[in-house]
Amino acid sequence: MARSSSLSGFLELLPSERIVELHVLDTLREVFERHGFASIESRAVETVDTLLQKGEVDKEVYAVSRIHDDAGSSSEAKMALHFDLTVPFARYVVENAGHLAFPFRRYQIQKVWRGERPQEGRYREFTQADIDIVGDGALPFRCDVEIAVVMARALEALQIGDFTLRVNNRKLAEGFYRAIGLTDAAAVLRAVDKLEKIGEAGVVAELTAKAGATEQQAQKALALAGIRTDDSSFAEQVRDLAEGAEDTELMEQGLAELAEVIDELRARVPGRAVADLSIARGLDYYTGTVIETVLSGHEQLGSICSGGRYESLASKGKRTFPGVGLSIGVTRLVSRLIGAELLTASRSVPTAVYVALRSDDQWGAAQDIADALRARGISAEVALSAEKFGKQIKYADRRGIPFVWFTDEEGRHEVKDIRSGEQAPADPQTWTPPAEDLTPTITRNV
C-alpha cells in the first residue's frame, strides 16, 4: 500500500507500486499522443511574480533560494517551485510563440509542489498530467469539446471503474447571476465553489455577506447549482429559473456551449459526463467551460481531473493566447488505486528470467545467456554468487521473478517456472516466456 515518507505530504512508492504508477503514466501518454498532443517539459522553478499573477494564495507556494545567499543575489528575481503546470505553460507559450505552430496541442507530465495541509489525496509534492490546446488570438470552441472527449477516453483507457465528468460553463453561470441582479459574479462563483464543503446554508451566508445577494437571489443561485442532467435538458430549467430577466445574452451563450460539450460527450463517450451547474472552479482565469471529475465510489477523494477554458492567461502586449486544458492529479489517483488495491502489479520487478550459477567461474557464461535473452527483449538478471540452487530459487521467488535458468556441466539448458515447478529444456537463442510473463502485468480489481 502507498505510504507517505518521513516528511508528511511526500509520497514514496515500493517497486510494485511504482509499476502501477508507470502503467497509469504510460496509458495517459499513449492516449494523448494518439490524439495528436506533443509532449513538453517546463522548468520546475518560476519567478514568484509569474506564479502569483493570477491571484494564487502565496502561503501555498514554496520559495527557492540558495543555502548561501550572496550579497549580490538580492537583485535577482525571487523564485519558487511551480504549484501547477498551467501558469508555467502560459509563460512557456509566450516565450516560445515564435517556435510553435498554433493551435498548439501539448501534454505535460511533471511533478509540482504545493504547501497545503497534507491529507488523503493531497500531497505537497505530486505529479500532474495536463493536456491543453492553445490558439493565437482565437481558439475555436470545438477545442473545448475535443479536450473533454480526449480526457474521458484517457480515463476509460485506465480501466479504473466508473467516473463522471461534471461539466459547467462560466458564461452560463455569470450570465445568470447578472440577469438576476448579482453584479459581483466572481464572488458568487467563489461561494458556490464551496457548496460541497460548507453546505447550502454556508453558501447563502457567504453570498449575502460577500456578494451582496438578497435572500431571493441567494436561493436562485443555489437552485441553479442544483441543476444536473445527462443531456441538454438543463437549458430549459435554467431559462425557467431566469424567467423575467432582461439581459440573458451571456447566459444563452453559455447554455449553447455547454449543450455542445454534453451532446458530443454523450455521442463519443456515453455515460461519462453530466451537466452539473454547481461546478464553478475557484481559479479566476477560467472563462467558459469548466470540468471536474469524480471516481465513482471514491467521491470523498475529490476531483481527480479538472480544468477548463481560459481566454487571457497567456498574453504578450496586445497578442493573446486563449486555451483550454484539463489536468489529472496523477498522485492523488494512483494513491487511491494502490491503497484500495484497484490496480495491482503481477510482480515488483521487470525481470522475467533469473539465470542461476552452477559455479562462480561460470558467471561470464551466464551473462552470455542473459545477453542472448535481452537481445530478444526478455528482461534477465544473473545470480551474483553460486549459492545452492534452492537459495537461488528462493531469491528469485522473493523478487517475483517467474523463471529460473539452469545450465548443467554439459552445457545443456533448462528453464524452470518456479510457480508451477515445471522445468523443460530451453535454448537461449529461441526460448521466450508466455506473453503474460514477458513484462509485469496490471490486474484490475474494479
CB 285 within 8 A of CB 313: yes
Lowest mean pLDDT among 63-67, 92-96, 431-435: 63-67
Give the whole-angstrom CA distance, residue 153 versus residue 144.
15
CB atoms within 10 A of CB 307: 28
All domains of the chain in start order, with CATH: 3-41+84-345 (3.30.930.10), 353-444 (3.40.50.800)
The whole-angstrom separation of Cα 271 and Cα 164 is 8
Residues ≥6 apart with Cβ < 8 Å to 114: 60, 61, 62, 83, 84, 124, 126
Higher pLDDT, 254 or 69: 254
Q: Are 355 and 369 in contact (CB under 8 A)?
A: yes
Beta-bridged to residue 228, according to DSSP, are 276
Q: How far apart are CA 363 and CA 369, in angstroms?
A: 10
Does residue 56 have a pLDDT over 60? no
pLDDT in tens, 238-296: 999 998 888 899 999 999 999 999 999 999 999 999 999 999 876 678 899 999 999 99
3-state helix, strand, coil in the chain (%, to 5): 40, 25, 35
Residue 76 has pLDDT above 70, yes or no: no
pLDDT for 57: 55
**Residue 146 in 3-state DSSP?**
helix
Q: How confident is the model at residue 67 (pLDDT cuts 50, 70, 90)?
A: confident
Angle between helices 330-339 and 15-34 (to 10 degrees): 130
Over residues 80-104, mean pLDDT:
94
Round the average pLDDT of the chain to a whole number and report it.
Answer: 91
Please report the sign of the dihedral spanned by the C-alpha atoms of residue 283, residue 285, residue 288, residue 292.
Answer: negative
- Predicted TM-score of the model (pTM): 0.89
| 61: nearest Cα among 82, 43, 89, 76 | 82
101: its cell numbers? 505552430
What pLDDT does 350 receive? 97
End-to-end CA gap in the chain: 16
> How does residue 135 score in pLDDT terms, banded at 50, 70 and 90?
very high
pLDDT in tens, 354-400: 999 999 999 999 999 999 999 999 999 999 999 999 999 999 999 99
Which tens digit of pLDDT belongs to each residue from 393-432? 999 999 999 999 999 999 999 999 999 999 999 999 999 9
Helix (H) or strand (E) holding 3: strand 3-4
pLDDT score of 59: 67
Amino acid 415: pLDDT? 98
Give one word for 204, left, alpha or beta, with left for phi > 0 and alpha for psi -120 to 50.
alpha
Residue 59, Cβ neighbours under 10 Å: how many?
A: 7
Stronger pLDDT, 53 or 113, i.e. the higher one: 113
Residue range 188-237, pLDDT digits in tens: 888 888 888 899 899 989 899 988 889 999 999 999 999 999 999 999 99
pLDDT, position 71: 53
